[in-house]
Structure 1
């Protein structure tokens, strides 16, 4: 079995792509003379995640963030490229030999109202991963582990006999976190875990996740469209647009000195809570149809710095200091 060096990233994504066939039925295409339609949800994304790090992915709806999340935990297969977890291909999750890998990476879903089975008691929900991955664990040991997990996320052991509908949204997300931690994973994929919660509850859940990361040495991929949340929790930030990574940088560098015009556009749209007098600029334009993306740089129809090269040639990601950015204007020093 291949093992990874301590200095290698825990997660390595190399030119990952996932395409979906969204064509009409064969008969409709024949009668209407239509061609097949392909949605390039993720189109050649590369990044690494170090042990103990939180990498956040941001971008407008439909940019491919959630597809990346599902690729990382094996819910979707790759159309192209490779994903490795501690040196092992993520495709091994689907094999018997890779079963041990499954318990080391887990996912927290966006909607705590939809991700918990309403017919099951909380104890059974949290114990389900243990039953799947720890078949030799006795019933008493399983109950003790469930009690420990409930305490870990700030709930009571007595809550295990209740049903999900008896809890608030924030408490349900704590239950989801407890379930994800049941098998003692090293890597958690968090797909907008606070977006369905009230603002005050969001802060509680985020603080819980940061505390758990420090205590357990967890590594996070955190997906969000809320830049304030990202600023609070991330170490590095990746910005996605129409299935591609346009910029990835350390959090402080990205918020202080954004390089890609799209990143600048997103940051300029944040309300000025510090009352510095800086005007808020709404995000300009609309995301193009992902079934028919523009040629060249897909952001060029909305970019104030686009030229002819941008319209015909897709930019390659290049390293500028600690920042990796895919933009002709940056490479040519036109910004």
Structure 2
């Protein structure tokens, strides 16, 4: 494919979960079937060698997007295209293993994502064996040693068990395992949220270094805008399964358009004591089983009017390549 083509293209991606009671309970209690639209019509693209971050409060659908991209969930609607091919169709075919080599995932909890009964050597070696990338025990051990050194550990750490490492070191092991197949694309689902702040910085710096060295592309899931500011090239803000704003990082932090983005940024502690008036995030995320009509953010929005309550906004691109889904922005009320 042309280097101008985005590595990852997502079109109208949706995932609906059936959370109904069992059939007999529904009949006896006369209850309707219940569905949650965890992801509802999300579209974006990720250029080669860049990082797109998805941010939003818990339950907005960020992690579901991550799992859809790597094939852990099947989309209800829409498509994920990887290097010009349909990812879901390819993953289900004989070429699926080849595609899985090219995209890997780093999970949120380094304590749960590593098998406690395996030594680190076996954990990092598993994808090498699975994809037939090495032949012989000597080459396998050497390759695992290289991977551990590339994430700031030593080859001798391969002889230890996960419980002998700190949280930050465990996440480095997870990164080494993800890099084993020499992927082009990493999906990072809140990879630093379980770590101390000082350790977060070390892991984020490591990921940025690896991106520069290997030309990696990242989808970075986070609820922490300070982390996003450090790693992202572009930022997508999600609310109740939909993208409400998608913008280059510098533009989003300097001139946030959507009222929800503004609220998220105002919630960041003001360490520079600028004296700027701040509006903390108001209210609670609505029940996803009964989302509000129209714009799903309107019950919490200080700029909502009757149109916001009745009509769902769509993402529109402005002159600075920022995409915003907001009637108030469109009508220049804010």
TM range (shorter): over 0.9
Q: Deviations over 1:270-326 (max 9, x none)?
A: 110111122443210110000110111100111111111111111111001220011
Give ranges in structure 2 of 5+ residues lacking alignment: none
**How many pairs are equivalent?**
332
| 2:116 counterpart of 1:113 | no
| 2:38 counterpart of 1:41 | yes
Deviation at 1:5, TM superposition (A): 2.2
- 2: CA distance between counterparts of 1:137 and 1:226? 42
Alignment of 1:317-328 (within 5 A): 317-320=315-318, 321-328=320-327
**1:131 aligned partner:** 129
- 2: CA distance between counterparts of 1:138 and 1:307? 67
State the SS of the aligned residue for 1:69: helix
**1:250 aligned partner:** 248
Alignment of 1:191-210 (within 5 A): 191-210=189-208
**2:67 aligned partner:** 70
Alignment of 1:1-335 (within 5 A): 4-91=1-88, 92-134=90-132, 137-320=135-318, 321-335=320-334
Deviation at 1:147, TM superposition (A): 0.4
Q: Deviations over 1:236-284 (max 9, x none)?
A: 1000000000000000000000000100010111110111122443210
- 1: CA distance between counterparts of 2:279 and 2:198? 26
What TM-score results when the alignment is normalised by the length of structure 2? Answer: 0.98
State the SS of the aligned residue for 1:137: coil
Are the counterparts in 2 of residues 54 and 220 from structure 1 also a CA contact under 8 Å? yes
Give ranges in structure 1 of 5+ residues lacking alignment: none
Cα gap change, 1:29/1:170 in structure 2, threshold over 3 Å: closer, same or farther?
same
Q: Deviations over 1:144-174 (max 9, x none)?
A: 1100000000001001010000000000000
Are the counterparts in 2 of residues 271 and 280 from structure 1 also a CA contact under 8 Å? no
State the SS of the aligned residue for 1:238: strand
Deviation at 1:6, TM superposition (A): 1.7
Are the counterparts in 2 of residues 237 and 250 from structure 1 also a CA contact under 8 Å? yes
Q: Deviations over 1:70-122 (max 9, x none)?
A: 00000000000010000111111122123211100000000000000000000
The range that moved more, 199-208 or 130-139, is 130-139
- 2: CA distance between counterparts of 1:194 and 1:48? 24
Deviation at 1:141, TM superposition (A): 1.4
State the SS of the aligned residue for 1:95: coil
- 1: CA distance between counterparts of 2:154 and 2:278? 44
